[in-house]
Amino acid sequence: MAKKNPVAKKKRTATASSAGADQGTTVRAGVPAGRTSRPSGTSPGREPGAGHDGDRAEHDGRRDRTGDRDPVRPSRRRIITAAGSAGAAGLALGAAGGALARAAVSPETPTALTTVGSTEAMFHGKHQAGITTPLQSRGHLVAFDLAPGAGRKEAAALLRRWSALAAALMAGKPAPGAGTGADTGVALDAGPSSLTLTFGFGRTFFDRTGLTARRPAGLDPLPAFSSDQLDARRSNGDLWVQIGANDALVAFHALRAVQRTAGDAARLRWQMDGFNRSPGATDRPMTTRNLMGQVDGTNNPRPSDPDFDRRVFVPRGGEHDWLADGSYAVVRRIRMLLDPWERLPLTKQERIIGRRKSDGAPLTGGSETTPLGLEKLDADGRPVIPANAHSRISAPEQNQGAAMLRRPFSYHDGSLPDGSPDAGLLFVCWQADPLRGFVPVQRKLDRGDALSEFVRHEASALFAVPGGPAEGEYVGQRLLDA
C-alpha cells in the first residue's frame, strides 16, 4: 500500500455525530488543497438516494485512506494513477467543476481521481456498513445455503472467516493469508474504494443451525403479491452478502474472496450484479436515476430525520438482543419492460410516476425535494398527481407513515430470447420491521400502481442483518456464540 502523503499544514478535521451514527465516523480530508473534504461520490449533505440536503457525515462511517488533512504533493502511487488517467480525455467533470481533468495532468496537486480509491468504510461500528453508506457504483448481491451437514459450528467459523476478510478488504489490504495464495491480486493497485461487505441471515438459516428459538418474527415470510412472478431458485437463502464499491475490480475481488472463503461450509444459491452512476459523473449533487431515466430515491428517509433510527434500525432492549442496531433487508429483482416504457411520450411517463423526469420535482411544482401536492387539482377538478401515480401510492402519508430506506442497484443481464433487454432494478430496502416498512407499501402498490404495467418482480428475499461488530467480534457473534 502507498505511504501517507507529507502534510505541510494541518486543518481541523470536521466530525459529525448523531444518536444513530456508526462508530468511527470521522472524515479526514486526503484531498487537494482548496477542496472540501467529503466521501467519494458525494457532495456536502448527500445521502443515499436522497435530495440535496441532510448531513451525510453522520452515518457513512467513511474516511480518506491517506489520513492526510491537507496534502501538498501526490504520493508515487497517485502520480502513476494520474499519468494513467491523463489519456482519458473524455472524463466527465465531477462536483469540483473540472478539477478532475486538470488534476490528471498537473504534477503540482494530487489527482482528485484518487479520492475515489482512497475513501474507506469502517467495518467495526454500531451498524454494519453498506446500509447508510452512500450508493456505490458497483454492487454484487450474493446468497448462500449452508452445505449439507453444516450447522451452527460451521456457520460460526464461516462468519469468523468472512468478518476477518471484510475487515481487511474494506481497509484496502489483501485477503488474510495472501502470502499463501489466498488473495487473487485483482485489487492490488487500488485503495479501498468505499468497499462495503454487509452480512445477513435468512429464515432457513435458523433451521439449519438449530436456532429457531432465536429467529425473529420479522423474518416471517413476506406475503404473496398478485404481480409477483418469482423464481424460487433466485430467491431467499440461508446467508446473504451485499458487496458495494466504487471500483468494479475492487468489488469483483471482494466477491471472489467471499466465494472462495466460503469453502465447504456454504454453497452459492444465487448472485446478482448491479451498478449505479459513478462518483463525479455529474457536475452537481444529484439523486441517482434508474434505467427508466427517472430520478429514484427522492423521498428516502434521511439520517438527519428525528425518526430515522426508529424507522431503519432494530432498537435495543427487544426480544432478540443479537439483532439490536441491525436492520431487515428486503431484496427484489425487478425487471423493467424498457421497450414499451421508452415508447411512451414523456408526459405519459411523468403521469405514471407523478414527477417530472427532468429534475424529479412533483407534477404539482417546485423542486425535487418539494413535498407532493396530493390535494392539488387541475382545471378540470382532477388530481394533478394522478390517483394511481407511483409517487402518490408509495408516499408515507398514504401508508400510515410506512417508510423504508431504499438503496438499490440497477442491473443489465443481456437480452431475453425475444430480444428485449433483461434489465431493471436490484431493489434493496432497509427497515426496522418489514411489516411496517416494505409490506404495507408493496400491498398498496400491488392494488393499483400505474407503474406495475411496466415492471415484473422476478425474485424476492428477506434477511435479518445484525448490528455492526465491535472490535474483536465477528458479524453475528452475539447470535452464534450465545
Indicate which residues carry an active-site annotation.
296
Inter-CA distances, 375 with 308, 357, 449, 460, Å: 26, 21, 18, 34
Q: Which residue blocks in 198-239 are alpha helix, DSSP H?
A: 203-208
259-286 as b/e, with b when 16 or more CB fall inside 10 Å? bebbeebbeebbebbbbbbbbbbbeebb
Q: How far apart are CA 62 and CA 30, in angstroms?
A: 12
Q: How far apart are CA 61 and CA 187, in angstroms?
A: 22
Looking at residue 153, what DSSP letter applies?
Answer: H
Burial status of residue 72 (CB atoms within 10 A of its CB: 0-12, 13-18, 19 or more)? middle
Q: How far apart are CA 299 and CA 401, in angstroms?
A: 12
Residue 155, C-beta contacts closer than 8 angstroms, at least 6 positions apart: 146, 205, 208, 209, 239, 265, 480
**Coarse DSSP helix, strand, coil percentages of the chain, rounded to the nearest 5 percent:** 25, 20, 55
Q: How far apart are CA 31 and CA 118, in angstroms?
A: 10
Q: How far apart are CA 305 and CA 441, in angstroms?
A: 20
Task: Give, in degrees to the nearest 5, the angle at Cα 464 between 42 and 452.
Answer: 70
Q: How far apart are CA 279 and CA 247, in angstroms?
A: 10
Q: How far apart are CA 111 and CA 114, in angstroms?
A: 6
CA 415 to chain centre: 25
